[in-house]
Chains A and B, each alone.
Chain A
């Protein structure tokens, strides 16, 4: 447990007899971390526990060396954008942020200035003086995000932050998350849209039934799933030739021509041996290869192997 990481150690949370999360142990490093799992898997519970909105039944949590039961210290470095789509009655975007900043100890002039900056950053400058009750779903999502980042936190926890945003808004927010993570911050994002998690995350935590089933970089997690052969897509001018010769390799279990004969999808049980052999095969066959890419080193594929239809394959 170090001051620069987020450490969750053997944490369980029960709601009466209902399991929230069970014996979760993870260390989260700086960067963008995706928290992935189906509805009811325990993602929001874990995020609430990190922020002290819930107390663990057992285990301990440290966020950059601070316990979540010390809100005065914790929320100087942590910002949390929850999934709750509710706001204090009668608040405008500006008053909502201003109140938060005043609780951070800013005087009125500082809070006003910072409010304008943050509204501008999330694209709500024009709507700042309107009541939040009249905002669209996307605007409410943005004002929640503004509230989470207004104090420039080192740790940003975002529960389904892209919900309700249009494609342009999603792209803008993803850029913002990446920018925040590049600055050495911890940015933890939960999303059920796996494609987006894939796009933005440096690493993932996969949670299912209240337990963490995998954590780390997508490649590392995929590498540990030995029961599922690795899929490699080779785009080239002679996919049939590659398929025939690759199929002779003892560890290649499938070779399938795909996308109108513009590529071949190979499945191997031994990635370490496969890539050198593929290199030799390509050099000796004279085939013109456009790309060689892993086809299932994605959050979606890993999720499917561990949690979805192919679950239990680890």
Chain B
């Protein structure tokens, strides 16, 4: 072979970059991304409708905007938009290529299967975090914009910018955690939508679960990172709040652990397209 003599980490790093860049291209610029863009457009449309139908008195006082956005972020953006966007993008990392019968090209390259899994996963994280992070920023701006100068100054103040940063960081971690879960679902299940719906049910039930079960959900940790606390309703069981560092560590550990299982699964992956 002419060139390409590197081995070990330098080669793996290069291969991960190549795989991630390809996956970003597919997830951001191809037809595969269309459902994600449609999902991402929904909170933006909601924010636009809110600004259109806002009364003059509401427009003059941005008092409730912070809590309104916090609720939209938690119940709509995080639980619905990010969840299903991650499902669409990450399930297709392997399952999509199996269905289009092109996965074998990756399996016929001198790439460790673990490297393949990591490269694809990182590409998915960058792509989903970029699209959904931008969605969060645009939505929050559209929430504050109708309030004119008062809204803009609230948004661009130090605390406002810190809130935006916290929401974007929460979104990125949500993409990483849900992404690893759906990568795994795509590897283990021929129809990953069934486990996705079951997991969504579990996430929805989380507020009503006792503390020792809450720790088994992703949204429990994501909720701890949201800058504005929100009410989960009268029937929710309260639990001790988790320190931010612990929530971040737990989400990173969940993502890493699920990715490790996924990488292990890819080691035994066989190409039997006719059976799919």
- Partner-B contacts on A (CB < 8 A): 15, 48, 51-55, 69, 71-76, 79-80, 82, 84, 86-90, 96, 99-107, 110, 114, 147, 151-152
Contact with A along B1-28 (1 / 0, CB 8 A): 1111110000100110011001000100
Q: What residues on B are CB-neighbors of A105 within 8 Å?
A: 3-6, 11, 14-15, 110
Q: What residues on A are CB-neighbors of B276 within 8 Å?
A: none
The 10 closest A-B pairs by CB, nearest first: A105-B4, A86-B101, A75-B110, A103-B109, A53-B271, A110-B3, A104-B4, A102-B18, A106-B4, A88-B102
- Partner-A contacts on B (CB < 8 A): 1-6, 11, 14-15, 18-19, 22, 26, 30-32, 97, 100-102, 104-113, 267-268, 270-273, 275
CA distance A71 to B106 in the complex (A): 10
From A80, A84, A88, A107, contact of B3 by CB (8 A)? A107
Q: What residues on B are CB-neighbors of A55 within 8 Å?
A: 268, 270
Q: What residues on B are CB-neighbors of A82 within 8 Å?
A: 104, 108
Q: Tell me, rounded to whole Å, the shortest Cβ–Cβ distance linking A147 to chain B.
A: 7
Q: Tell me, rounded to whole Å, the shortest Cβ–Cβ distance linking A112 to chain B.
A: 11
CA distance A69 to B271 in the complex (A): 13
Q: Is the CB of A53 within 8 A of B268?
A: no
Q: What residues on B are CB-neighbors of A48 within 8 Å?
A: 271
Given A86-B100, A105-B15, is A52 in contact with B1 using a C-beta cutoff of 8 Å? no
Q: Is the CB of A15 within 8 A of B100?
A: no
Which of B4, B97, B270, B271 has the most C-beta atoms of chain A within 10 angstroms of its own C-beta?
B4
CA distance A300 to B151 in the complex (A): 83
Q: What residues on A are CB-neighbors of B3 within 8 Å?
A: 105-107, 110, 114
Q: What residues on B are CB-neighbors of A90 within 8 Å?
A: 26, 30
CA distance A76 to B2 in the complex (A): 11
Given A53-B108, A75-B108, A151-B1, is A15 in contact with B18 using a C-beta cutoff of 8 Å? no
Q: Is the CB of B22 within 8 A of A99?
A: yes
CA distance A151 to B18 in the complex (A): 17
Q: Is the CB of A76 within 8 A of B108?
A: no
Q: What residues on B are CB-neighbors of A73 within 8 Å?
A: 110
**Shortest Cβ distance from B119 into A: residue:** A103
CA distance A18 to B121 in the complex (A): 34
CA distance A72 to B110 in the complex (A): 4
Q: Tell me, rounded to whole Å, the shortest Cβ–Cβ distance linking A211 to chain B.
A: 21
From A89, A106, A107, A151, contact of B100 by CB (8 A)? A89
Given A51-B108, A99-B22, A100-B109, is A152 in contact with B270 using a C-beta cutoff of 8 Å? no
Which of A48, A72, A114, A147 has the most C-beta atoms of chain B within 10 angstroms of its own C-beta?
A72
CA distance A86 to B113 in the complex (A): 21
List 17 interface pairs A-B (beta carbons < 8 Å), by A numbering: A15-B275, A53-B107, A71-B109, A71-B112, A75-B111, A76-B1, A82-B104, A89-B100, A96-B105, A102-B18, A103-B18, A104-B4, A105-B3, A105-B5, A106-B2, A106-B4, A110-B4
**Shortest Cβ distance from B107 into A: residue:** A53
**Shortest Cβ distance from A13 into B: residue:** B270
**Shortest Cβ distance from B4 into A: residue:** A105
CA distance A52 to B269 in the complex (A): 9
**Shortest Cβ distance from B270 into A: residue:** A54
**Shortest Cβ distance from B268 into A: residue:** A55
Q: Tell me, rounded to whole Å, the shortest Cβ–Cβ distance linking A48 to chain B.
A: 7
CA distance A104 to B267 in the complex (A): 19
**Shortest Cβ distance from B273 into A: residue:** A84
Which of B2, B22, B97 has the most C-beta atoms of chain A within 10 angstroms of its own C-beta?
B2
Q: What residues on B are CB-neighbors of A100 within 8 Å?
A: 105, 109
